[in-house]
A and B are shown apart, each in its own frame.
Chain A
Amino acid sequence: MKIAKALASATILAACTFGSASAADLVVGFSQIGSESGWRAAETTLTKQQAEQRGIDLKFADAQQKQENQIKAIRSFIAQGVNAILVAPVVATGWDEVLQEAKDAEIPVILLDRTVDSSKDLYLTAVTSDLVHEGNVAGKWLVDTTAGKPCNVVELQGTTGSSPAIDRKKGFEQALSGHDNLKIIRSQTGDFTRTKGKEVMESFLKAEDGGKNICALYAHNDDMAVGAIQAIKEAGLKPGKDILVVSIDAVPDIFQAMAAGEANATVELTPNMAGPAFDALAAYQKDGTAPPKWIQTESKLYTQADEPLKVYEEKKGLGY
């Protein structure tokens, strides 16, 4: 009996040491763009958290919005002989040379959140969200919620010409096509900011009979929706009831609005891009299974029924 116990504990001990040894082996470099938005700050926090949970030694480099800093960081990661490199590329072009250097050193590179215009065999995989799909999820929610009733929609677009604005608009329109009860009656840019979101919503309300003509608002990000909600309230209407509000991103403040019944739904752009990246990396290290070239993150829909206050508390500390 004693022997059996000793054996068992020895096995556990061995397993433990083995486990920690394999984790300590893995050193990953992460070249982040910077901290230009709350979402990016949350992505950094979550990447560090995910690495810690997996016992990965993460080397973090902040590029302060400059590609040259990112290239420097990647070269220094290569020189240090890390096991893998994560990059959130600030621009799409100009990566061929440094990616080739990483490939020559046999260090897999994983792109986070954005992609590059380089040959696909220069990186292991790209973990990004599908912007068109996000718009689609938001649109489907509205289609299901209105259930065939006629509904005039106003749209707050992101910065004109930016890819999130183009794709989130496209996805939303795809979801609405074939449902003639839903009509986008006004669409303007709110530049992804609260101030412009509020100002543009004020003009929508004035232009559409004090808002009586509007049944739903679709905003390309939560910040514009938060601004628009204030405009709706100041016009004497109830956001969330008189005018349905659906937006994208799932930043903490929209959950407060949902808890207060002033917003209806949001589609999450998850800041946890590192989790799937580390999973793919683990599989690749283990037996060399190459992941697909594009790993799409989940675009989860949150509504008022998903305990918004609880989600708010979870998200609050991530640095949004």
Chain B
Amino acid sequence: MTSFFKLYFNRLLPQLIALGLIIMAVSLVFPGFLNIEIQNGRLYGSLIDILNRGAPVVLLAIGMTIVIATKGIDLSVGAVMAICGATAAAAITSGHSVPATLLITLGVGILCGLWNGVLVAVLDIQPIIATLVLMVAGRGIAQLITEGAILTFNDPGLIFIGSGSFAGLPMPVVIWLVFGMLIAVLVRRTALGMLIEAIGVNRQASTLSGVLTPVLLNAAYVLCGLCAAIAGIIAAADIRGADANNAGLWLELDAILAVVVGGTSLLGGRFSIAASVLGAIIIQAINTGILLSGFPPEFNLIIKAAIIVFILVLQSPRVRTAFAFLVPARGARNPSERAAK
């Protein structure tokens, strides 16, 4: 069991180091960064803000990881967020109860995922093109639902999802923690994860060896749609309104970036949900850090890009090999001892 954790820790080490460095750097610029206090019965502080503000990208990254592991990609998640936020706002303002609203919204998210899934798995269209369709059309659909305006609502139940708290943690954090663990357990404690990786490595070979490829591919895109729906609800509940023009705008790129920073290859195959979640938190830590640092806004994107390049270089195979050469792994130092085990 310890070796399992050690393996796991080694997998996440680059991400943890990157996150640690960023947090250290920001707390040097802004000393109050690490402070966490309890206010109104909930934890309050910049670190909590990172977890809270990162919620949409974390959720998108969870779904995106699975899709990317199948050698696919889903560009539509930002637009699906907008559709689902608009759906939730429209449902609650037309008098549906909160559970009904949530069911309708999640259903719409699943439908969007199914649309992508059918295009990719059944019609065999390249994922980047197939999901581009919904990325472009989705924002229009969302605008149709909200009629171009920001659709506001005042239902305390729905607002609670965006800005309430449970056990001292903001509700969005609770949601992604629970959801992420559920999905991680689902794919790692069953053979599902391995089958998904198999599809990503070689779809044809998997089909020939009896994997239900179309079903699993569809399921991956449906999961991605579901994640986008939850993210959309959180984003809408957070501002108490559905903003079809801006909700989830460009977040598909942040989600893909989170997966890449998490070390999952865009060529499919091996994936780690925990690493992608860490990737999303790293991105949010950079964003929050930039906001706290007080630099003029013109620098925001440049600083963000510079840090991301640095992290990606750290992870590149060449640098990793060089690193391994400088610091030999502990097991390798004493081969005889390992042999004795």
Contacts and interface: CB of A to CB of B under 8 A. Distances in A.
B294 interface: yes
B206 interface: no
A79 to B, nearest CB: 30
A161 B247 CA distance: 21
A36 B147 CA distance: 10
A200 interface: yes
B133 to A, nearest CB: 18
Given A203-B288, A253-B150, A319-B149, A186 B46 contact: no
B294 A207 contact: yes
Contacts of A204: 291
Contacts of A253: 150, 152, 241
A144 interface: no
A113 interface: no
Given A195-B239, A319-B149, A37 B291 contact: no
A206 B46 contact: yes
A161 to B, nearest CB: 8
B291 A195 contact: no
A43 B292 CA distance: 37
Interface string A156-172: 01001100000000000
B148 A38 contact: yes
Interface stretch (B58-66, B89-97, B295-303): B295-303
B149 A320 contact: yes
Contact of B238 (A36, A195, A223): A195
A204 to B, nearest CB: 8
B149 A206 contact: no
B246 A193 contact: yes
A200 B291 contact: yes
Interface string A222-235: 01001100100011
A320 B292 CA distance: 33
A199 interface: yes
Given A200-B291, A207-B294, A189 B148 contact: no
Contact of A234 (B148, B163, B287, B296): B163
A206 B32 CA distance: 8
B245 A37 contact: yes
Nearest to B170: A234
A236 B30 CA distance: 22
A223 to B, nearest CB: 7
Contacts of A234: 163
A236 to B, nearest CB: 6
A316 B298 CA distance: 35
A226 B154 CA distance: 14
A275 B308 CA distance: 51
A194 B150 contact: yes
Contacts of B147: 41, 319
A187 B149 contact: no
Interface residues of A, number: 34
B285 to A, nearest CB: 12
A134 interface: no
B238 A189 contact: no
A35 B148 contact: yes
A22 B72 CA distance: 64
Interface string B155-178: 000000001000000000000000
Given A230-B239, A253-B150, A160 B298 contact: yes
Interface in B34-77: 39-40, 44-46, 49, 53
B240 interface: yes
Nearest to B44: A235
Nearest to B295: A188
Nearest to A256: B152
B235 interface: yes
Interface in A16-75: 35-38, 41
A236 B39 CA distance: 8
Interface of A: 35-38, 41, 157, 160-161, 186-189, 191, 193-195, 198-200, 202-204, 206-207, 223, 226-227, 230, 234-236, 253, 319-320
The 9 A-B pairs with the shortest beta carbon distances in the complex, nearest first, are A203-B291, A189-B297, A194-B239, A193-B246, A38-B149, A35-B148, A160-B297, A206-B46, A207-B292
30 contacts: A35-B143, A36-B245, A37-B245, A38-B148, A41-B147, A160-B298, A187-B296, A191-B246, A193-B243, A194-B150, A195-B238, A198-B238, A199-B53, A199-B291, A203-B46, A203-B291, A206-B46, A206-B49, A206-B292, A207-B32, A207-B294, A223-B150, A227-B239, A230-B239, A234-B163, A235-B44, A236-B40, A253-B152, A319-B149, A320-B149
Interface of B: 30, 32, 39-40, 44-46, 49, 53, 143, 147-150, 152, 163, 235, 238-241, 243, 245-247, 287-288, 291-292, 294, 296-298, 300
Given A36-B148, A204-B291, A223-B150, 20 more contacts: A36-B245, A37-B148, A160-B298, A160-B300, A187-B297, A189-B300, A194-B150, A194-B246, A195-B238, A195-B239, A195-B246, A195-B247, A198-B238, A203-B288, A203-B291, A206-B49, A207-B30, A207-B292, A230-B163, A235-B44
